[in-house]
Structure 1
Amino acid sequence: MISSLGPELKQTPINSVKTMEVSVDMLQEENRNTNYNLSFRHAQDRSIRRLQWIVAFCVACLCVLMFLTVYQIFGGVICDRKNKVHSEPYKAPGRDHNYATEKPRAHLTGTRQHELNKDLQWESQNGLAFIRDGMEYVNKCIQIPKDGYYFVYSKVSFRPGCKKNSIVTADIRRLNHNYPVAEILLSGLSFCVGDSGFQPIYLGALLELKKGDTLKVNVTDIDQVDISVDHKTFFGAFLVQ
């Protein structure tokens, strides 16, 4: 009886040990699987969070871009309107509305003289000549439309030939109802230099003028003035400030 139970008793601990090893292996495998699943979930969560941050950043950038676009569009429109308001000059009613904000200017060129006097006659419309923004050509004079500082200039050229040692003079004068006589503003002279004749007389200066002032050019020998082309003899003024 005892001898027959001996092998069974001997085999039982071995089987228990094997069973325990299998259980340990299974637990270890299960732990590995659990750790793997946890690692995978953590990695997946990190990826999801990273993706969420990327999406949020892209949305923020898109919002900023849309804001800048809208600002530029509406800001540009507002600036254009402001520029138009500031750039468009005020036009006062009446015939002289242009020179209220623009700069009066005139450039006259010598023309044929119909009278034998010292006051040169000028062309005010054709060729290089023009009158702009309130300036007027009246009675062989430039009439000033508004107070200000004007640059006034003239050039008088002469035909070839003259008497030896002779002199010719030219000047720019101002007339106004406040002055009893014409006032000489600029003057110059030229000596005869033989066969080549008189040298041109250039005059020019910045002057303070008043509304209603009239400017004219006088020359002592009007018959010698060269008016063959526009750039030989001219007279002008323009508002500086």
Structure 2
Amino acid sequence: MEGITEITLEETALGTNQPSRTHLREDLRRIRCAVLLCLLSVLVLALLTAYLMVGTLRAPSSCAAQVTEERTSRFLKQRAVATGTDALSSAEKPRAHLTVKRQDLANTVGNHLPILQWEDKRGLAFTKNKLNYSSSALVIPVSGDYYVYAQVTFRGTTESKTNSVTEIITKVTDSYPEPTQLLTGIKTLSEKGNSWFQPIYLGAVVSLEVGDKLMVNVSDIKLVDYTKEDKTFFGAFLL
């Protein structure tokens, strides 16, 4: 009886431990799956981080390359222009000298400063090597650095009722609709006697492009002295 009782107890114990072992195996399987999922998540995050870091490093490089390319292109264009202008002899470089003539006062209507008109053929006036005069403006034929100058002599009487006179050299381009003031001169008048005269000279080196137009504006076209061509003149030449 005792032997039978022991066998029965062992069988009972084995039967009781069987479900526990099954649960333990399932728990281990779940733990393994959870660990694998965690490892996969870490791997995916690491790959994404590496991809983003590589993209961030490449972006500045591409920007720097683009800036370098733009600077190189600009330098090559400037070099090409410089080479083209340097190849010209002094006699071949564009230049012009315009002198004053009687003005058309009809152009003084409106709020804008009137534009002076010039003589380009007679007397001391000339235009050479395609630096032409058209519609009150000098038209630039070759890109480069130009010396641009103008002198306007104003004269009047004490009855002119003006306190100052102004001269402006203006540039007009096809790419920009509004005129650009390159040089400006203003002189205050002091009344001495019954008449007065006041010259204003402007001159500077200016970088110009093909097709740019240069003109001279004044505050009062009726006060411009057009009696002598050496008093009021306008010109430019390629350096």
For normalisation by structure 2, the TM-score amounts to: 0.56
* Distance in 1, Cα, partners of 2:93 & 2:162: 43
Deviation of the 1:144 alpha carbon = 0.3
What is the match of residue 140 of structure 2?
144
Question: What does 1:149-164 correspond to in 2, within 5 Å?
Answer: 149-162=145-158, 163=160
> Residues 137, 165 of structure 1: CA spacing in aligned structure 2 closer, same or farther, 3 A cutoff?
closer
What letter corresponds to residue 203 of structure 2 in structure 1? G
Answer 1 or 2: which has greater strand percent.
2
Matches within 5 A, 1:1-241: 102-114=92-104, 115-117=106-108, 118-162=114-158, 163=160, 166-194=163-191, 195=193, 196-240=195-239
Which residue identity lines up with residue 102 of structure 2 in the other structure?
R
The one-character-per-residue Cα deviations of 1:144-185 (angstroms, maximum 9, x if unpaired) are 001010000000001242446611111000001111100000
CA distance in 1, matches of 2:196, 2:161: 9
RMSD: 2.0
Map Cα deviations across residues 174-207 of structure 1 (whole Å, 9 max, x no partner): 0011111000000001111213524211100000
Matches of 1:178 and 1:198 in 2, distance apart?
Answer: 38
What is the rounded CA distance, in whole Å, between the counterparts of 1:157 and 1:213 in structure 2?
A: 26
Residue pair 1:144, 1:212 contacting (<8 A) in 2 also: yes
Q: Deviations over 1:69-123 (max 9, x none)?
A: xxxxxxxxxxxxxxxxxxxxxxxxxxxxx99x81100000010112332111100
Q: Which amino acid aligns with 1:136?
A: N
> For residues 115 and 213 of structure 2, what CA distance do their matches in structure 1 show?
13
Using the alignment, how far apart are the partners of 2:118 and 2:94 within structure 1?
18
- Which fold has the larger relative contact order, with Cα–Cα distance below 8 Å and residues 6 or more apart in sequence? 2
> What letter matches 2:222 in structure 1?
D
What amino acid does structure 2 have at the position aligned with 1:219?
V
Q: Secondary structure at the match of 2:168?
A: strand
Q: Which runs of 5+ in 2 are unaligned?
A: 1-87, 109-113
**Is the Cα contact below 8 Å between 1:157 and 1:233 reproduced in 2?**
yes
Decide whether the 8 Å contact of 2:156 with 2:196 is kept in 1: yes
Point out 4+ residue stretches in structure 1 off by more than 3 angstroms.
162-165
Q: State the Cα distance separating 1:136 from its structure 2 match.
A: 0.7
Partners of 2:153 and 2:107 lie apart in 1 by: 17
Distance, in Å, in 2 between the alignment partners of 1:209 and 1:220 is: 25
Structure 1: which 5+ runs fail to align? 1-97
Asked if structure 2 preserves the Cα contact closer than 8 Å seen for 1:190 and 1:198, the reply is no
- Identity over the aligned pairs, expressed in percent? 46
- Give 1 or 2 for the bigger CA radius of gyration: 1
The number of residue pairs the alignment matches comes to 143
Q: Deviations over 1:204-239 (max 9, x none)?
A: 000000000000000011000001011010000000
Q: Provide the residue aligned with 2:6 in structure 1.
A: none
- How far apart, CA to CA, are the structure 1 residues paired with 2:162 and 2:153? 18
Contact 2:155–2:198 under 8 Å retained in 1: no
